C-alpha cells in the first residue's frame, strides 16, 4: 500500500498528495509531515486554474498557489500530464523554488522516447508513438489522446498486450476494448492474444484486424492507412510495436506515390 510511504515520512518531511484523488483526505491523514494538496479540486493548495490541450496534444496551463502563479506550455503530451504537472509544481514550490523558475523548468521537461511522440510520415500520415510500455492507465490516456487529435481521416489504434497484470489481465484488456468503442476509434489492429479486448471493442469499432505480432501489424497498417489517418501505436515494451511506428514515420512501409503502402487519398 502506497499509504505506507506517507505513514513512514518523517515529521519534518513534505508530502505531495493529489487533491483529485477521492482518497486524498485519508492519505493526508496518514502522515505527520507537512502536506500540500495539488490538482484541480477546490481543496488544492497548488491548484490548476486553467488548462487546455493544444493541437499537438500539449497541455497549456495556469497553476495558482500561495507562492505565486505558474504558467507553462508543456513539451510532454496528453491530458493526463496536467495532473502530473500540478504535482511536480507542488514539489518545486514546496521546496522553495521561485514560481518563475518553476514555469521555465516545467516548460522544458521532456519524457523518454516512444511516449506519445507525435510525428508524420513522408506521405503525411500522423503517427502517435506510445510504444514504450503500457498499463491500464497509460492505455486509457493514449486512446483519449488519439480521440482528441483532429483529422479528416480515420483514427487507427494499433494495440498490443499489457503484460504483468496477473489475474486482472482479461478484465483490463476488456476495459481497453470498451473504451476504444466508446471513443469511436475507427480501426483497431489487435496484436497478439487480445481476445477480451477485441470482443469488447466489437461493440463500437467499425473495423478490427487481429495479427500475431508487430510485423503483422505493420503489414496491415501499410495496407489500410491513408495519408489523412492518425495511427496510435501502444503496447507493453516486450511486444516491440515501436517497429511499426518507426517504419511508418520513416516511410519504410510506403508503397505507392507519394509514399508506398500508405494511400495518398482521404479516409477511404
Return the C-alpha torsion angle 227, 233, 239, 242, nearest 10.
Answer: 70
In this structure, what DSSP letter does residue 154 have? -
32's grid cell = 505527520
106's grid cell = 516545467
Radius of gyration of the chain (CA): 21
Domain boundaries, the chain: 3-108, 117-250
Helix (H) or strand (E) holding 213: none
> What's the CATH architecture for 3-108?
3-Layer(aba) Sandwich (3.40)
Predicted model pTM: 0.79
Query: pLDDT by residue for the chain (268 residues), tens digit each?
Result: 578 999 999 999 999 999 999 999 999 999 999 999 999 999 999 999 999 998 888 899 999 999 999 999 998 888 889 999 999 999 999 999 999 999 999 999 887 777 889 999 888 899 999 999 999 999 999 999 999 999 999 999 999 999 989 999 999 999 999 999 999 999 999 999 999 999 999 999 999 999 999 999 999 999 999 999 999 999 999 999 999 999 999 876 543 333 334 444 443 3
Q: Decide which of 3.90.190.20, 2.40.70.10, 1.10.10.10, 3.30.70.3040 is the CATH code for 117-250.
A: 3.90.190.20
Amino acid at each position: 500500500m502506497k499509504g505506507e510511504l506517507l505513514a513512514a515520512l518523517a515529521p519534518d518531511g513534505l508530502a505531495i498528495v493529489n487533491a483529485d484523488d477521492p482518497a486524498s483526505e485519508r492519505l493526508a491523514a496518514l502522515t505527520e509531515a507537512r502536506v500540500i494538496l495539488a490538482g484541480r479540486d477546490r481543496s488544492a493548495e497548488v491548484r490548476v486554474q486553467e488548462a487546455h490541450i493544444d493541437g499537438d496534444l500539449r497541455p497549456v496551463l495556469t497553476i495558482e498557489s500561495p507562492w505565486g502563479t505558474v504558467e507553462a506550455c508543456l513539451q510532454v503530451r496528453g491530458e493526463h500530464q496536467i495532473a502530473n504537472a500540478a504535482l511536480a509544481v507542488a514539489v518545486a514550490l514546496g521546496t522553495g523554488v521561485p514560481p518563475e523558475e518553476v514555469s521555465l523548468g516545467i516548460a522544458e521537461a521532456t519524457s523518454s522516447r516512444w511516449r506519445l511522440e507525435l510525428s508524420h510520415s513522408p506521405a503525411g500520415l500522423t503517427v502517435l508513438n506510445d510504444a514504450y510500455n503500457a498499463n491500464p492507465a497509460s492505455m486509457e490516456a493514449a486512446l483519449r489522446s488519439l480521440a482528441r487529435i483532429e483529422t479528416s481521416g480515420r483514427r487507427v489504434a494499433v494495440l498490443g498486450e499489457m503484460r504483468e497484470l496477473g489475474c486482472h489481465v482479461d478484465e483490463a484488456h476488456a476495459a481497453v476494448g470498451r473504451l476504444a468503442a466508446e471513443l469511436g476509434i475507427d480501426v483497431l489492429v489487435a496484436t497478439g492474444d487480445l481476445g477480451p479486448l477485441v470482443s469488447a471493442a466489437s461493440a463500437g469499432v467499425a473495423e478490427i484486424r487481429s495479427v500475431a505480432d508487430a510485423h503483422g501489424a505493420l503489414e496491415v497498417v501499410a495496407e489500410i492507412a491513408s495519408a489523412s489517418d492518425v495511427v496510435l501505436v501502444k503496447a507493453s515494451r516486450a511486444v516491440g510495436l515501436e517497429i511499426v511506428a518507426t517504419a511508418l514515420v520513416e516511410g519504410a512501409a510506403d508503397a505507392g506515390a507519394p509514399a508506398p503502402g500508405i494511400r495518398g487519398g482521404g479516409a477511404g
